[in-house]
Amino acid sequence: MAFNGKVRRVVVTGMGTITPIGLTVNDFWNGLLAGESGAGPITYFDTTEYDTKFACQLKGFDPLKYMDRKLAQRVDPFTQYALASAEEAVKDSGLDFTKTPGERVGVIVGSGIGGMWTFQRQQETLWETKGPHRISPFFIPMLISDIAAGRISMKYGLKGPNYATTSACATASHAIGDAFILIQRGDADVMVTGGTEAGICPMGIGGFNAMKALSTRNDDPKRGSRPFDKDRDGFVMGEGSGMLILEELEHARSRGAHIYAEMGGIGFTADAHHITEPAPGGEGAVRSMRLAIQDAGLKPEDVDYINAHGTSTYPNDKNETAAIKTVFGDYAKKVAVNSTKSMIGHLLGAAGAVEAVVAVKSIVENKIHATINQETPDPECDLFYVPNVPIERTVNVAISNTFGFGGHNATLLFKKFQS
C-alpha cells in the first residue's frame, strides 16, 4: 500500500446479520449448520408473468423492532436491513459511543443497487398520475446507495469516514476492505462496515431473468441454488444485510473487547474482460486471492478454508474453481471450499459482508458449513466443496471471495487472533 507510516492491526469485535435463514448471527449460523434453505415462492408481488417465481426472502423481519414507524416509512427496505444488522453488530461489540469519540468512528456500508423498491414504487406513482408532482420528497434520499451509511452514522453520532461502495456483488467486500485500510493507516479507530440489499422486486427479478442469470427451478425452489453442481441453472436472489465492527487492536484491548478474529489482508483486482462473465480461468480472481494472502504475509498452504463466491452459475463456478487451482496448486484439493449462497441465495451487494461473517464464525467455531444440493458431480468443478454435510476442522485462516459484474474482484482474509 502507498501509506508508509505504522500499519496498525485490525480485529473484528462485533457482527450482525439479517438473512433469509435467520435475523441474528446465531440463528443464521445455526441455520447454515443445519443445511437450511431460505428459498421459497416470492410473496412480495405477483410472479405469474415471470420466468423465476422464487427467491430467498427474509422471514419475520419487522422494521419496528429496530426503528420507529416514522423512520421506517422514510427509508427503503435496504436501509431498514442495514440499520437492523448494524444495531446487532454494535450491541455485540459492546461499544459505548458516549465514551468513544465519534470523530474516530466511521461507517462504510455499500449496496449494489440501492433503493430499488423505492424506485419501483415511485415510478408506478409517476405512471399512474401522469405527472411528477406526486413523487415523494423522500424519493431521492430513500433511493441513493449511500443513505444506509448516512443513516447509521446519524443514529450513533459517528463522524469519521462515511461513504458507500458500489461494485455489484463485490460491494460489501470493498466496503470492508476500505474500512480495514482506514484503520490500518490511523484515520479511524473503529469502523462499522458491510453491505445491504433488497432487490427482490419486479424490476430486480425481471432484470436478472432478462439476462438469463436466475435459476428457473420453480417446481423445487429449495434445490434451485446448487453451486458447483453439474445441474446448476443460475443463481437464486436473496436479500438482507451483514455488518462487521472492525477495530484497531489496542483500542479494542483498552476497553476489554471480545475479539473474534483478526483481519489479515485484502486483494482487489479487475478483470477488464466482460460486463458479466469472469475472465477465462478466473485470472482476476487468481490475482485477488494472491494479493490477499501476500498482504497477510502468508502462503497459500496457510489457508484452511475458502468461502467461495459460488453463485450457482456456470461461468462463475467453473472459473472460480480454476482460479483456486491456479493459486493453490496441489493443495487446492485439500482446502475446504463452500458456498453460503447454496442456502441463502445471492445477496448481491450484501453478499461479501454476510459471507465475511461466515468466515469469521468458521474460525471461531472450527466448523465449516456444507454446500447443499451437491448431487451431480461436475468434471470442471472437482474440489472439496463440503458437500451436503458440515464438517469440523481447525480453521486458522479463512478467505472470502466476491466477484461482481463489471469485472470487480475482492478477496478478504481473516485469521485466528493471536496476541
Read off the amino acid at residue 287.
Answer: R
The length of the chain is: 419
Does 258 participate in catalysis according to the annotation?
no
46 membership: H or E segment, kind and range = none
User: CA-CA distance, 59 to 40, in Å (whole number)?
Assistant: 10
**Which of the residues 56, 169, 201, 381 is marked catalytic?**
169
Read off the amino acid at residue 215.
Answer: S
* Contact yes or no for 356/414 (Cβ under 8 A): yes
User: CA-CA distance, 304 to 155, in Å (whole number)?
Assistant: 38
Does 169 participate in catalysis according to the annotation?
yes
Q: To 5 degrees, how large is the angle CA 349–CA 350–CA 352? A: 95
Phi first, then psi: what are they for 267, rounded to 5°? -140, 120
Does 381 participate in catalysis according to the annotation?
no
- Sheet containing 190-197: order of strands: 162-163, 105-110, 190-197, 240-248, 10-18, 261-270, 408-415, 397-404, 305-307, 336-338
**Which of the residues 174, 251, 309, 369 is marked catalytic?**
309
**Which of the residues 174, 346, 369, 408 is marked catalytic?**
346
- Enumerate residues 6+ apart whose C-beta is below 8 A from 394: 304, 366
User: CA-CA distance, 237 to 215, in Å (whole number)?
Assistant: 9
Q: What amino acid positions are annotated as catalytic residues?
A: 169, 309, 346
